[in-house]
Amino acid sequence: MSLRLLALDIDDTLTGSDHTISEANKAAIAEAKAAGVEVILITGRRYKDSAEKYAVELSLGTLTYCYCGASAIRPDGAVDEHRPLPFHLALDIARCFHERGLPMQAYMDDVIYGEPPVQEHRRLVESFGVRTVANTIVPDLAAFFMEQGRPPTQLVPLGAAAVEAARERFGALSAGEEAGPGGEYGPLQMYLHDPGTILTRLTILKGGVNKGEALARHCRRFGFIRREVAALGDSAMDGPMVAWAGHGVAMSSAPDWIKARAEMVAPAGDDAAAVIIRRLLGQAQGNPGRPKE
């Protein structure tokens, strides 16, 4: 094989249990870059004060794909590409939640907005010792979107009741979590996080926005082919890119359905990305690699 592009998720893939990049992972990425491999981050995170610090720490100098590919950011921080939610649906969802008094966050220009119920939800979560991000509070999200004249990048209902309301009212418009490149899309894409916990939430993106599409789009634009591409990820958001890449790698904590689509499964541990990257580099140089573990 030849390896020319390495796509990495951040949380629990690039970073370990302490949310930092281990020295071993940093060294392996440096080795990949020295071997001529382009390294990109494709994450569900926002860019400012989040994905940005990892891209800078690794001196990547390439596009960073945030919000699962809804936003592509250049190394200088400028937005290269943006695929926000459909305006009319963002308004419909915001009005629905406003009428019901349910907490939901909206991401626009990497700023997190919310109505007053978000503050109550934040206090509840923090009472369990979980730190949450700050929010800019507005009286009415739908009215705010109208004032701005544009839709948000993503919406995130917070808590079990909000998630249930969103899925009941708008779930039929979603392609589902497992949708990948080339699939049939509805106008929305939804991802459920931490079900059954105090952190239960739902990410709502534009239909067709997922990490697999972002990776495929990057390859078309910059001249990579699938068999030259490796992708590492651990969550449902990562499933489409792990399945699309010529060399998809599921982290040890990934759901079984993602592992089934992967070429390899990484070992456990904070240095797992380093183990896999070096294995991929060895295969690219003609050394045999091991299959799924």
Give the angle 253-168-198 at the CA atoms, nearest 5°: 45
Give the mean model confidence (pLDDT) for residues 214-232.
Answer: 97
- How much of the chain, in percent, has pLDDT values that exceed 70? 93
Single out the residue of 4, 59, 51 nearest to residue 32, CA to CA: 4
| pLDDT value of residue 185 | 73
Average pLDDT taken over every residue of the chain? 93
Q: Dihedrals φ, ψ of 253, to 5°?
A: -90, 0
Give the mean model confidence (pLDDT) for residues 207-218.
Answer: 95
- CA dist., res. 189 & res. 173, Å (int): 8
Task: Show the domains of the chain with their CATH numbers.
Answer: 5-82+211-284 (3.40.50.1000), 87-206 (3.30.1240.10)
Q: pTM of the prediction?
A: 0.93
Across-strand partners of 201?
A: 158, 193
Single out the residue of 235, 183, 237, 182 nearest to residue 205, CA to CA: 237
Helix (H) or strand (E) holding 211: helix 211-222
Structure tokens at 251: 């982290």
- CA dist., res. 89 & res. 237, Å (int): 21
Q: Is 241 helix (H, G, I), strand (E, B) or coil?
A: helix
| pLDDT value of residue 281 | 96
Give the mean model confidence (pLDDT) for residues 182-186.
Answer: 68
Query: 229 and 263 in contact (C-beta within 8 Å)?
Result: no
- CA dist., res. 140 & res. 240, Å (int): 34
Q: Of 36-45, 108-117, 277-286, give the lowest mean pLDDT range.
A: 277-286
Does residue 283 or residue 93 have the better pLDDT?
Answer: 93
How many CA atoms, within 13 angstroms, populate the side-chain half-sphere of residue 270?
11
Does residue 135 or residue 247 have the better pLDDT?
Answer: 247
| pLDDT value of residue 178 | 63
- CA dist., res. 46 & res. 83, Å (int): 13
Give the mean model confidence (pLDDT) for residues 71-96.
Answer: 97
- How much of the chain, in percent, has pLDDT values that exceed 90? 87
| pLDDT value of residue 179 | 63
248: left (phi over 0), alpha (psi -120 to 50) or beta: beta
How many CA atoms, within 13 angstroms, populate the side-chain half-sphere of residue 123?
4
Q: Is 68 helix (H, G, I), strand (E, B) or coil?
A: helix
E strands, 163-228, in order? 188-193, 201-206
- Give the pLDDT confidence of 99-119 residue by residue, as tens digits: 999 999 999 999 999 999 999
pLDDT for residue 289 is more than 50: no
DSSP-derived letter for residue 7 is E
pLDDT for residue 287 is more than 80: no
| pLDDT value of residue 20 | 96
Give the mean model confidence (pLDDT) for residues 79-101.
Answer: 98
